[in-house]
Structure 1
Amino acid sequence: MRPGRQLAVLGLIFVVLYLLVFFSGGASGGWKDRLEPRLGLDLIGGTRVALEATNSLDGKAPTQENLEEARRIIESRVNAYGVAEAEVVTEGNRNIVISLPGENRDLTDVGTPAELRFRKVLKATDGSGATTAPAPTPTASGSPAPSPSGSAAPKPSASAAVKPSAGAAVKPSASAAAKATASPSAGGQGGGAPAPTASATPAPSATPSAPAASPSASAAGVPQGIEAQRKAVEQKVGPAAWAAASALQAPADLTADPSLAEKLKPFGTLTPQQVAVLAPEMQFNVPTVSCAQLDDRPAGSVKDPKQKAVACESGAKYLLDVAKVEGTDVKNASAQLDQTSSWVVSLNFTGDGQNKWTELTRESYQNNGKTCDASALGQGGNCRVAVVLDNRIVSSPEIQAVLTGDSQITGNFTSKDANDLASQLRYGALPVTFVQQEAQNVTATLGESQLRAGLLAAGIGMLLVIIYSFFYYRLLGSVIFLSLVLSGLLVFGALVVLGRQIGFTLTLAGIAGMIVSLGVAADSFVIYFERLKDEIRDGRSPRSAVPRAWVRARRTIISANAITLMSAVVLYIVSVGTVKGFAFALGLATVLDLVVVFLFRHPIMTMFARTQAFLSPRVSGLGRALPARSTEQATARNARVKEA
């Protein structure tokens, strides 16, 4: 055997690894900066958000398929922020935990459902929840929300990314504007509902022919859990109030029947969660159901695209038609600066979605089919289309032309607002709704103290192993010391390179995995050295005992490390969160320990066996193995003399 060759291979591995550390892609800054691995949330601080997935109406846990789909969408949204090292994992049967090391960020928006739908406004009424004043009916010249006219779109005072303001507008993009003859005041996106035609079924007019919200009608096709909640609401408001609300066929005029105001007053005490389970017609017709209650409904309350809905804008309640254009057919969404240097969200549709949007604008233009009530018409006498994001209206522009191209959502967006909304629309709506359970900012100070504690624990563990090794094995303890140092350098270099190439982040759990690997490495030393003692006791010289001990110990060392490695792989596959970091670090340290065993420990022992110091029990650390061998040899020589 030529141990120099194996040591040369190990030296080559070190040279290549640290060339990658200092000069590979992603290496920047000074030498100290290039030696820093990517650190996780618990070491450098950052943001941690826990979301609980639930059906907002019946409270049931989502399916595992829906939860995993939501996790992938949320992960895509987080990655769209342009940050690395984000971790999005599921915990239990309904929780998703988002962890982002480094700079603290607001991650609450990534859990919003982001279901964008285009619904025609059928009716409008006052949403203040007043019980003593008549409900004002907006006219075409005084609509509840400002409608775009001329060439300018109204600008809201707040962002529409998560909590859209009332005045945002939708307009065709530059390519669509060239085709439209009217001013760019309306636009939209493709959807997943059946394509409407010019002779679409008219929505209820101001005077419907039958009650819209009777208890029996509301129960039809309603999940049992929601119906049970409606029964609970009926009991809370009382039979008289429920009967009065069910009999309404249009928004109640409280001045015509003062007693009706007192009957409907209990609806004003309902929580937003309780209001969400009411039928849309009851939400709209009962004047004591206010926009404050409707705006605070749980996410996902306006969920079914095939049912009518109620939403508010600028203090006015709108009864909205079924969604004939949905966000699921958006081909792409991107944040852009328009010609006025304002941020807009540009929407590109699939072919099917574009056709549906064109048909919806054709149906709304000049109120074809007379489906829109006078209270819902814009200043030009055309229907308005509400752009509904989750439970809220982003904008409700009047349709002033039949639009055949892509569209833009405009508003007083900041760069972050526009990019957040575009990300939500681009990656799709979440299949389940979420309630934020925890939002925690881990400070860098706390992370640094944990890092120091972890490194201190690793240092103490390694020091104890080295002290014991020198005490028990003496000269052989230097082999253990050098092996652990080389193994540590290999692991450190690998962590730096893997952090740049695959985004691996070192957490406190990962440091724990490397500390555990010290024990695994020490076991392999004990196996080898004790085998060596056995060979010497059997009468072999140290030079011949080293290779024989290696052959006998090698299989045991490989088996022990293979079991540890398999355990790490299984743990990595089945675990989540920081436990994966522990398993990865343990597996990596185990593999690199095997490299050191084959390319350093055995060759260096072969070289030591050729020295005189190795033959001394006091220096070598072989203990009583060498004296026992001398006694056995003397006994054997005496026996041969007697036989002669």
Structure 2
Amino acid sequence: MARPPQGQQHPGRQLAVLGLIFVVLYLLAFFGFGATGSVTERLHPKLGLDLVGGTQATYVASGPVPSDSNMQEARNIIDNRVNALGVSEAEVVIEGDRNIVVSLAGEARDELKNVGQAAQMRFRKVVKVTGDVAATALNPPSAAPSVAPSGSAPAAPGTPSANPSGGQGGGLPAQAPAPSTPPSAPAPAPSASAAPVTPDQQELRAAVEKKVGAAAFAAAAKLTDPVDISQDRNAAKQYAKFATLTPEEVNVLPAQMQFNVPTISCEEQLNKRPPGAIDDPKAQVVSCQSGAKMMLDVAKVLGTDISNASPQMDQQSGQWVVSLDFTGEGQKKWTALTREAFQPQPNDPCLTAAQSASQGATNCLVAVVLDKEIISAPEIEGVLTGQSQITGQFTGESAKELAGQIRYGALPVTFTSATTQSVSATLGTQQLQAGLLAAAIGMALVAIYAFFYYRLLGTVIFLSLGISALLTFAALVILGRTAGLTLTLAGIAGFIVSLGVAADSFVIYFERLKDEIHEGRSPRSAVPRAWIRARRTIISANTITIMAAVVLYIVSVGVVKGFAFALGLSTILDLVVVFLFRHPIMTVLANTKAFLSPRVSGLGRVLKRAETEEPVPSRRVKEA
């Protein structure tokens, strides 16, 4: 006589594993991953924009109306930048033909300040520096950012250095030291190219000439070097009206005039020029660092020459850095630029600029420029032939932000920040209340039906759904802190839909149990047989749901992605509950007197039918 299949002999082990998972999750929710505040605050999931309100920023494309493809590309880049900061389910949408709106949950975020920046990165040799600038002006003792090979140790802050570990405030040490002899070909002289002037700019330039006076404008155009107005009172009076120009008016002036006119300031004019003011890689431009003007050569290495950028913790210095990997052609350009700065010709003006910025400098400076800002302008102390780092006073967030801007590329459209406003969650709160009320009514009906139809088995259904809900809640709290997962109305809908999947697995199991009893087996022996026959169906159904959720998550954006994630997460946790609670608890109940009672167990009809009817013989194939 064939022995019945052995069921789960030690259900206590599975229940203990489930209890351990439960305890670990809630310990992490209470004490791990930066949990602070009261019990309510520690167990508060991260809520989405539609539930708690948040911040909404609008970016307007400058210049002519951009193409649809450029706007879509800009939207994707901004979306990637926001997600790279750990902000989940941010809404990034295109409105009209030139607006992009970014919405984030919670209070106003600093992330919104920079996600709309063009992120045009340029590497330019420093040709001139205004005045007799002290070394601490360009590289203060706080260790201004610099560029160095990966794994190099920065020099002591504020200390000039000519060794491979770095220059003042962190330099550009050599990965592959160049020979001491000059290169066979002389370093190219700085280009004197200027940005082309459009008719509109020509008209604005004429208006500026009229505003400052023709004589002052003509005198400024003839300047070849900055004028020291502290020693020349007449010059201070002659160029005084240039100080009244707006940043937009200063932007239309030639770069040489912006640099040489002493009354054109960094703080109020040059730093506030419109976005894209110095993006042209083929023209010399003027930018500022620590209040000093810098004339920068044409850009010989661009952001597109960088293949990857990542935030890292430097093991030697213990500081956050941004590691740069160049493309094949980009690495050649970067090596050539560092060689040109490391081995300048004696008459190269970049050497004079480096000596003005840092007393005793023997090599040129290379400025790392992001949009209008000079991130760093260190002295080149070697020829860089591999991976390099941008180092400085970065925090984890600022390093991640800069790496994301570089990695995801420059925006094809220049944007200006139009408005930043708070968004109320009143409508979302009303919808949430209505949705939770509908869910509660539905769950109540399911519970009533389960207890009426399955009785004791209905208790198993109720406990399983409760445990699944508690595990899901703990996962939401932890993922909200670590991965930026936010709970939105769409996510709540995903969790509610998953309850239907869980209910289906109950029906499959319990109805299979009834079939086994109807075939003449006792409830105690029917439980393991029903599990074996129902297990494959339950796994298949849940796997299909998980696969659908994964596909939907990959191809969707915004709130639909949140719905897919919630559906997949809750379905996985339902499988955990099925294996670690539902079947073990059924094995325990099968050994109780209540389970054998037709009136209590919920198997009354099928047990009575099994007593009055002959057992249904199992179909077996006998071996010959």
TM-score, normalised to structure 1's length?
A: 0.57
Q: Does the Cα contact within 8 Å between 1:295 and 1:391 map onto a contact in 2?
A: no
Of 54, 59, 62, 2:66 maps to 59
State the match for 1:483 in structure 2: 464
Deviations 1:390-431 (A, max 9, x none): 45465999x9x9966999999xx9x67998489737974763
Deviations 1:341-390 (A, max 9, x none): xx99999999985874574477597xx2679999xx9999x999794734
Of 28, 42, 52, 2:48 maps to 42
State the match for 2:88 in structure 1: 87
Give the whole-Å Cα distance in 2 for the aligned partners of 1:288 and 1:333: 39
1:482 offset after TM fit, Å? Answer: 2.5
Aligned residue pairs, count? 539
Deviations 1:110-169 (A, max 9, x none): 5542635434457xxxxxxxxxxxxxxxxxxxx9666227xx54799x9999xxxxxxxx
State the match for 1:223 in structure 2: none
After superposition, residues 114-263 of structure 1 pair within 5 angstroms as 115=121, 117-121=123-127, 147-148=133-134, 153=137, 177-178=161-162, 200-201=188-189, 203-204=191-192, 218=196, 230=198, 252-253=218-219
1:472 offset after TM fit, Å? Answer: 3.7
Change (3 A) 1:119 1:594: closer
Of 304, 316, 324, 2:280 maps to 304
Q: Amino acid of the residue matched to residue 218 of structure 2?
A: A
Give the whole-Å Cα distance in 2 for the aligned partners of 1:524 and 1:409: 54
Q: Does the Cα contact within 8 Å between 2:276 and 2:372 map onto a contact in 1?
A: no
Q: Does the Cα contact within 8 Å between 2:30 and 2:43 map onto a contact in 1?
A: no
After superposition, residues 373-384 of structure 1 pair within 5 angstroms as none
Is the partner of 2:299 in helix, strand or coil? strand
Give the whole-Å Cα distance in 2 for the aligned partners of 1:553 and 1:242: 83
Change (3 A) 1:462 1:102: farther
Q: Does the Cα contact within 8 Å between 1:110 and 1:424 map onto a contact in 2?
A: no
Is the partner of 1:305 in helix, strand or coil? coil
Deviations 1:68-93 (A, max 9, x none): 677666666x4xxxxxx543878568
Instruction: Give me the CA root mean square deviation.
Output: 6.9
Does the alignment pair 1:15 with 2:19?
yes
Q: Does the Cα contact within 8 Å between 1:333 and 1:425 map onto a contact in 2?
A: yes
Give the whole-Å Cα distance in 1 for the aligned partners of 2:435 and 2:210: 67
State the match for 1:525 in structure 2: 506
After superposition, residues 602-621 of structure 1 pair within 5 angstroms as 602=583, 604=585, 619-621=600-602
1:296 offset after TM fit, Å? Answer: 3.9
Is the partner of 1:306 in helix, strand or coil? coil
Give the whole-Å Cα distance in 2 for the aligned partners of 1:479 and 1:91: 43
Deviations 1:259-291 (A, max 9, x none): xxxxxx9xx99994x987898689899999998
Give the whole-Å Cα distance in 1 for the aligned partners of 2:514 and 2:430: 44
Q: Does the Cα contact within 8 Å between 2:320 and 2:394 map onto a contact in 1?
A: no
Change (3 A) 1:479 1:409: closer
1:176 offset after TM fit, Å? Answer: 5.1
1:517 offset after TM fit, Å? Answer: 1.9
Does the alignment pair 1:576 with 2:562?
no
Q: Does the Cα contact within 8 Å between 2:204 and 2:252 map onto a contact in 1?
A: no
Change (3 A) 1:599 1:38: same
1:539 offset after TM fit, Å? Answer: 7.6
After superposition, residues 357-376 of structure 1 pair within 5 angstroms as 357=338, 359-360=340-341, 363=344, 368=347
After superposition, residues 197-596 of structure 1 pair within 5 angstroms as 200-201=188-189, 203-204=191-192, 218=196, 230=198, 252-253=218-219, 272=248, 295-311=271-287, 320-323=296-299, 356-357=337-338, 359-360=340-341, 363=344, 368=347, 387=367, 389-390=369-370, 392=372, 394=374, 420=398, 424=402, 428=406, 431-433=409-411, 435-436=416-417, 439=420, 461-492=442-473, 503=483, 505=485, 507-508=487-488, 509-530=490-511, 540=520, 543=523, 556-596=537-577
Change (3 A) 1:57 1:488: same
Give the whole-Å Cα distance in 2 for the aligned partners of 1:464 and 1:319: 75
Is the partner of 1:118 in helix, strand or coil? strand
Does the alignment pair 1:108 with 2:113?
yes
* Stretch moving more, 574-583 or 320-329: 320-329
Give the whole-Å Cα distance in 2 for the aligned partners of 1:114 and 1:396: 15
* Stretch moving more, 557-566 or 346-355: 346-355
Change (3 A) 1:600 1:186: closer
Give the whole-Å Cα distance in 2 for the aligned partners of 1:491 and 1:275: 58
Is the partner of 1:16 in helix, strand or coil? helix
Is the partner of 1:177 in helix, strand or coil? coil
1:11 offset after TM fit, Å? Answer: 1.0
Give the whole-Å Cα distance in 1 for the aligned partners of 2:580 and 2:507: 18
TM-score, normalised to structure 2's length?
A: 0.58
1:470 offset after TM fit, Å? Answer: 1.9
Q: Amino acid of the residue matched to residue 575 of structure 2?
A: L
1:301 offset after TM fit, Å? Answer: 3.5
Q: Does the Cα contact within 8 Å between 1:40 and 1:505 map onto a contact in 2?
A: yes
Higher Cα radius of gyration: 1
